[in-house]
Structure 1
């Protein structure tokens, strides 16, 4: 009998043109980790829903301990409605438009009834990083919304999807640049052409709201030092073409490009102090 892992591998064999996936029926907890590992290894998003709170918490903690990302763990009493509904919200990313990035936190899922959970259960899921769909506010004016949106490695789903998209966009832009130009010379000029191809993708990410100007807190790269401000939200560095090895030159390779980008992030909460005066 085919396992869930066998099933998704078969799908991938027949069609590589998919990014996120889920199963029509809830799969056993014992099958989740190997499917999650496959998703992580293949840069796919696995949307997993559990109808048991304790099981959802244990699963999320196990995936985090195994350093497995690219899997989203959600709890809901309604597997089908939550899985399909959440996918519809999460995958509504419109990178081709201004501010097209969408976070799932506090968004509504049409047609899905909120799960009836206690505050203690909510706190357990929040601590573990399990997403849930519940009512907020008093019973007379409750609003149903998604709470969470983290992946199994505690990165946010919208950010990881955006970075996966950006990586692919840059690859396609560089590919098309070499395909359309008569030639991309193996010179400083050709390196600049390729850099411009990369920047085209990065500028699209800025318009979409995925990356934005901000302080770089990572390691030094090229002329950028830790804590430098990135006015464009990104920086592209490459090793000088004149210093490349003869082997790389014979193989018609560019020198190494390194791209750093500052995520625009998303505000999910705020501390507000009200100072009244009569």
Structure 2
């Protein structure tokens, strides 16, 4: 018996949604140098380990390889590194090399450049302040002026420039301690539950602590620089984990991650849905997407419930308890002008977040009774 197709009555079509781009995890570092293993036309290459580098033509004697050893030696270890080529035959400045590597790839977040002079450090630091996508610069210096407290020096210059995207480490003997610090930061940024970290008081695997006087440590940290030295009865510690302007590294990194995650989530909503109506309900859809990102930031430990101490925003006033660690607010669609409506512009949305912060200094009073 011939049966008739049901399509004429109930026509079912199946559509598989395309996978949306995920947000960058901001956990890959770039090491730049003048070795010629990577062609200038290629500019950058990605490796999963130093063994991967050796199998790809590196000999193990190059500065980039040695920096990668310091980078991958950290615990937890990063999952990959990118190596960038500085074309020394042109000649190309370190800054121009970093810029060319950014043009070639958006896949890296941190950057370390081998063998740079103080003037190059200052030029790269100035560039990364406004580089897109967001970038973080790591360097090490053996400058005697830094340790002695003599100005000018590279750390005092970056401090006065208020650079919040540059992490400097004084190291009298180790050439690649900045690469180790970058490896620590990239490896620690896993995005897992309770994974947020600070750079303060961590160990740099494979790096020998500097033998510094108390005054030298005070001089270096006074410029918002960082040291790796010995404390107490044998603690080998990275202190203080700050960027050149004094901002903790983790705060810069996780605010970057939050920004990227929100941007990617909202963009994916705009791409994946037939449309988001320009109504209060449509705006609420976007607010819910942003709330999911903030929930994840609470899960990792970057955000936490607390009292809002920022400015008054819509219905949020100073002193309000953010019980979720954040509050998402938006203007009403009715506040839009006709021109904004014609441009299909959403009303302003505000993600008000409370940072969990971190304890890095403790005062303890011991009371004794005889």
| Worse-superposed segment, 85-94 or 217-226 | 85-94
Structure 1 residue 64: Cα displacement? 2.4
TM-score by length of 1: 0.93
Alpha-carbon distance in 2 for matches of 1:247, 1:79: 60
**What is residue 45 of structure 1 aligned with on the other side?**
136
Structure 1 residue 52: Cα displacement? 2.1
Alpha-carbon distance in 1 for matches of 2:366, 2:144: 36
**What is residue 4 of structure 1 aligned with on the other side?**
94
Alpha-carbon distance in 2 for matches of 1:134, 1:96: 29
**What is residue 192 of structure 1 aligned with on the other side?**
284
Matches within 5 A, 1:75-154: 75-94=170-189, 96-138=191-233, 142-154=234-246
Higher share of residues assigned helix: 1
What secondary structure, in the 3-state scheme, does the structure 1 residue paired with 2:259 have?
helix
1:54 aligns with 2:145: yes
- The answer to whether the 8 A contact 1:53-1:75 is kept is no
- The answer to whether the 8 A contact 2:209-2:236 is kept is yes
- The answer to whether the 8 A contact 2:168-2:178 is kept is no
1:231 aligns with 2:323: yes
| Worse-superposed segment, 99-108 or 224-233 | 224-233
- The answer to whether the 8 A contact 2:168-2:244 is kept is yes
Q: CA offsets per residue over residues 93-115 of structure 1, 9 Å max, x none? A: 44532111111111111111101
1:71 aligns with 2:191: no
**Gaps in structure 1 of 5+ consecutive residues:** none
Q: For 2:310, which of 192, 214, 218 is the aligned residue? A: 218
Alpha-carbon distance in 1 for matches of 2:99, 2:174: 22
What secondary structure, in the 3-state scheme, does the structure 2 residue paired with 1:73 have?
strand
Q: CA offsets per residue over residues 3-36 of structure 1, 9 Å max, x none? A: 11111011011112211101122x1112222211
Which ranges of 4 or more aligned residues in structure 1 deviate by more than 4 Å? none
**What is residue 366 of structure 2 aligned with on the other side?**
274
**What is residue 107 of structure 2 aligned with on the other side?**
17
What secondary structure, in the 3-state scheme, does the structure 1 residue paired with 2:352 have?
strand
Closer, same or farther: CA 274–53 of 1 in aligned 2, 3 Å: farther
Alpha-carbon distance in 2 for matches of 1:101, 1:227: 26
Q: CA offsets per residue over residues 199-237 of structure 1, 9 Å max, x none? A: 111111111111111122221111111232221111222
Alpha-carbon distance in 2 for matches of 1:108, 1:243: 53
Q: CA offsets per residue over residues 118-144 of structure 1, 9 Å max, x none? A: 111011122221111001124xxx121
- The answer to whether the 8 A contact 2:94-2:120 is kept is yes
**Gaps in structure 2 of 5+ consecutive residues:** 1-90
Alpha-carbon distance in 1 for matches of 2:239, 2:144: 14
| Worse-superposed segment, 46-55 or 200-209 | 46-55
Instruction: State the superposition RMSD in angstroms.
Output: 1.6
Alpha-carbon distance in 2 for matches of 1:165, 1:80: 29
Structure 1 residue 79: Cα displacement? 4.2
- Higher-Rg structure is 2
- The answer to whether the 8 A contact 2:146-2:219 is kept is no
What secondary structure, in the 3-state scheme, does the structure 2 residue paired with 1:13 have?
helix
Closer, same or farther: CA 95–192 of 1 in aligned 2, 3 Å: farther
| Worse-superposed segment, 75-84 or 115-124 | 75-84
**What is residue 70 of structure 2 aligned with on the other side?**
none
TM-score by length of 2: 0.71
